[in-house]
Amino acid sequence: MNLISLQNLSTTDVMEIVEGSLAIKNNPERYANILSGRSLALLFQKTSTRTRCAGEIGMTQLGGHAVYLDWRTTNFGLADLRDEIRVLSSYVDVILARFLKHADIVRAAESATVPVINGCCDLYHPTQALGDLMTIQEKFGRIEGVKLTYVGMHNNVCNSLIAAGLKGGMEVTVVAPETNPASIDAKLFEAAEQAGVYKVSDQLQDAIAKSDVVYTDTWIDMEFFMDTAFEAEKKRRMKVFAPYQLNKEVLAGHDVVVMHCLPAHRGYEVSGEIVEDPRSIMFEQAENRLHSMKGLILKLLGKL
């Protein structure tokens, strides 16, 4: 079994990971040596804080070993991806890959002889969605029927939240002035729409008023945030997205939980005061990436 997107998993699989992750969080000592002698490779083309730490530290806390491979310090860029993945598969029990392109994740999974986890690509971020589902289950005691509004750029995180809605019965409303072209997944949108768990709205206040959770992400791709060549596009997006910032005025009077996959760019998609607001559970959400990664790895290795 691989995790390329949540569509790879059954609803039962997803809920087992969510419930298992909560059990791991609440009783970590029970799982301290469950993966003794097992290894995880983290193969990353993109920078990371949460996904890398969740994988490395999570594997260590389960009694296993993790090795981090920065793409630039390996021969992956010099050889056929399929060949190198086959070699890596012979060394480890699981591969956590954070690639720029979804097609490369798919190619890696096809070539690997061990489970492959998509640690983020341009189309999906399924490990983030599993952590989010765990956090929502922990907060509300349920996932089904929870109403979540995603605000901002429709991107890979948004896609995975829609997929999460399909698996858990969570209702996802997207308020997005633009969609990242690399994140268009027409089949996913159609399936979720037909299931009644996904809709698009241009009425921000109305959507927030009907929500249990309001969720946002960066408006600007991480790798371009500090790139001066991207300055004109950054200014354009700032102007287009400014009315969609989560701030005190937009959220005034709304009893909602505020989530963000982080890193947050304070003053852009979310104001600093909302990051610190009592309604924000962003840091609990970030912590749960560790526990949900452990639950996922155990599930893929048949140990959950």
Could you state, in order of their start, the residue ranges of all structural domains in the chain?
6-124+288-300, 127-285
pTM of the predicted model as reported, rounded to 2 decimal places: 0.95
State the average pLDDT over residues 168-192.
95
Which pLDDT tens digit goes with each residue over 243-277? 999 999 999 999 999 999 999 999 999 999 999 99
Side-chain half-sphere exposure of 1, counting CA atoms within 13 A: 17
DSSP string, 76-136: TTTS-HHHHHHHHHTT-SEEEEE-S-HHHHHHHHHH-SS-EEE---SS--HHHHHHHHHHH
b/e string for 177-199 if b means 16 or more Cβ within 10 A? bebbeebebeebbebbeeeebbe
Range from 16-25, 199-208, 229-238, 262-271 carrying the lowest mean pLDDT: 229-238
| Averaged pLDDT score across all residues of the chain | 95
Which pLDDT tens digit goes with each residue over 74-120? 999 999 999 999 999 999 999 999 999 999 999 999 999 999 999 99
Check pLDDT > 70 for residue 218: yes
Please say whether the beta carbons of 153 and 178 come within 8 A.
yes
Asked whether this chain's domains 6-124+288-300 and 127-285 adopt the same fold, the reply is yes
Residue 196 falls in which region: left (phi positive, over 0), alpha (psi -120 to 50) or beta: left
CA 259-207-216 angle, 5° bins:
25
Cα–Cα distance for residue pair 51/203, rounded to 1 Å: 33
Cα–Cα distance for residue pair 214/118, rounded to 1 Å: 25
Please say whether the beta carbons of 156 and 185 come within 8 A.
no
Supply 268's token pair: 């852009």
Residue 253 falls in which region: left (phi positive, over 0), alpha (psi -120 to 50) or beta: left
Please say whether the beta carbons of 156 and 121 come within 8 A.
yes
In CATH, the number for domain 6-124+288-300 is 3.40.50.1370
Helix (H) or strand (E) holding 213: strand 213-216
In CATH, the number for domain 127-285 is 3.40.50.1370
Cα–Cα distance for residue pair 232/250, rounded to 1 Å: 27
Per-residue confidence (pLDDT) for residue 101, from 0 to 100: 96
